Amino acid sequence: DLLKMPDGKAKKKLLNELNRVRMLCDRGLWSDRPSIGEEQLDQDYTPGVAGDDPRPQAETKNNKHQPLPDEYVGVCSRRVLWIVNELGPSLLTIAQQMAEVTKNNPYADSDLSYITINERRRREFNCLLAEHCWKDRQGKVILEPPFPLTLKGYNSPLQVGQWPPRSGSHILSLLRLLQMAHLWIIMLSVGSRIGEMLSVRPGSIVHSANGIPFANGLTFKLVDVVGGEERDWPLPDVALEALRQQEKLCAVINKIGRWQSELGDDKLSDDVAHDSIWSRVGNRGEFSTTDVNEFLRNLVDSLGLTEKPGGLNLTTHRFRKTVARLVALALVGAPKILMDLFGHKTIEMTLYYILTDPDLQAEIRQVVEEVTIMRAKTAIEDIEHYGGLAAKKISDMVNRERVRLGKDLGAEDIRELAEILTMNGQAWEMPRPGVICTKLPGSTGPCNKKIGHPEPSRCTPICNHRLEEAYLRKDVDGSIAESVKHYEAERCAQNELMQEFWAGQILTHLKRFDDLCKKWSNHPTVVEIMGLQEQSA
């Protein structure tokens, strides 16, 4: 029936209602889920033309929620940060003054008509705007935004170059813009679902015992608790400041209430209590998951950017995909981190989530290969400070390459050698932090007698493929010193079992760096241990 309906407002309202029912089902508050495909509910319907297929062609589920393009995220985020950091405080100041005007000219218990009250409010608003000086956080006057900025006011839109705002309608539009700018920053920071973020309430910022800030909210998917289950999201500094400012903005929005003449609404409204930190500007009620996308598209449109980055509609779920992509590309152990951040129950869910996009798979492979080559380049440039038995092999190879070329290695020579050593990024793995396994495909070692990946639990300093990064030298030196101290203490206590243990620790660490082996080989306790080892052999 839905697909046969003509395009128009009735169809759009029905789609919104079906999406709302679906959201209630996700939260465990409704059992009768609409028997219609998810892609059809999420589809944006546009009026058709004669001869078109009346059935809208929905994008496939895998292609619909692609990560946002890097350049788009960079450009839009810079503009969003300016809105939040530079314009936000000054905007909140004038909005608070407007809230006082609204409070001093109430609809309730007034002998005046709402038209007269609206006229009074408008005059006072205009006086405030005429006297208001727009300043950034450094106190400098904002002569104009550093990018094209437009506002879709109810009566008179603000076009590019028309600064400062001249009416209360412009202020309401800027408040919507600021709220969506806060949401942009937080969604890119925490990777939550939009329903989870809309559950965050004022006063939800908490700090752990070690001072890390978190935002408390609810999660509804993959839980059996009716009404959602509490959870929190760690907040980086930029998201923490955005959430704090959003709390102030929410309080101001609720004080301003509905501005009847601007909305063309003849009905009076009472104050409405808001549970969420996100509130509709100049309107009754809170955001729903189905209309946030429209507000976000208005944000990027006002900032002079396309509503279809990468050719696809801007949606809140694309933020989650963007976070997944960036984490997968940038962090070691990304699947486990994303599993915790996204609230997935199994690691398989997370892997499926980030690997359903073949372009992302290819990008991850490319990044992994580049990181491997970069790690090899760093080792070649500083090989004299590296440890492990593989360091001598690489040092000899570097020297032979210098002799072959008859010069010191340049940047291109080092990269070429790094590509050879790693087979264009296909080899060299890190079985543990600071330790690089330089085995090539098909090679074996003490950790695996058969061909395969290195086994971290069996990685040993006697392996010819082991390369130790330079930063470990200080830790190894300290470990030898501590082991010597404990060995001497156990020797005084005549505890032979613990003496054996600490002697093994010393002998193991001596093999990791040649210069440390030379340094400690003259220590009496180490000489004693090495002598006992020779006798045992």
Query: If DSSP codes are grouped into helix, strand and coil, which group holds residue 6?
Result: coil
Query: If DSSP codes are grouped into helix, strand and coil, which group holds residue 50?
Result: coil
By CB atoms closer than 10 A (0-12, 13-18, 19+), residue 8 is exposed
* Bridge partners for 219 per DSSP: 229
- Nearest 5°: CA angle at 154, between 148 and 159? 20
Alpha-carbon gap, residue 92 to 84, rounded angstroms: 10
Rg of the chain over all Cα atoms, to the nearest angstrom: 32
Alpha-carbon gap, residue 112 to 119, rounded angstroms: 11
Alpha-carbon gap, residue 90 to 234, rounded angstroms: 28
- pLDDT digit string (tens) for the chain, length 537 residues: 777 888 888 888 888 888 888 777 776 677 777 766 554 554 443 333 333 443 344 444 445 678 889 899 999 999 999 999 999 999 999 999 988 888 888 877 778 887 888 888 888 888 998 999 999 989 999 999 999 898 876 566 787 778 888 888 888 889 999 999 999 999 998 888 888 888 898 888 999 888 889 998 888 776 666 777 888 888 989 999 999 999 999 988 888 865 543 333 334 344 444 578 888 887 655 667 667 888 999 999 999 999 999 899 999 988 988 887 777 666 656 667 767 766 777 776 666 666 666 766 676 777 778 888 888 999 999 999 999 999 999 999 999 999 998 988 888 999 999 999 998 888 888 888 889 999 887 787 888 776 667 778 888 888 889 999 999 999 999 999 999 999 999 999 999 999 999 999 999 899 899 889 999 999 999 999 888 877 777
Look up tokens 């839109």; give the residue: 157
Residue type for position 50: A
Whole-angstrom CA distances from 67 to 99, 188, 270, 326, 336 are 39, 11, 42, 9, 19
Contact 487, 503 (CB under 8 A): yes
- Nearest 5°: CA angle at 439, between 435 and 444? 115
Whole-angstrom CA distances from 496 to 129, 205, 333 are 85, 55, 41
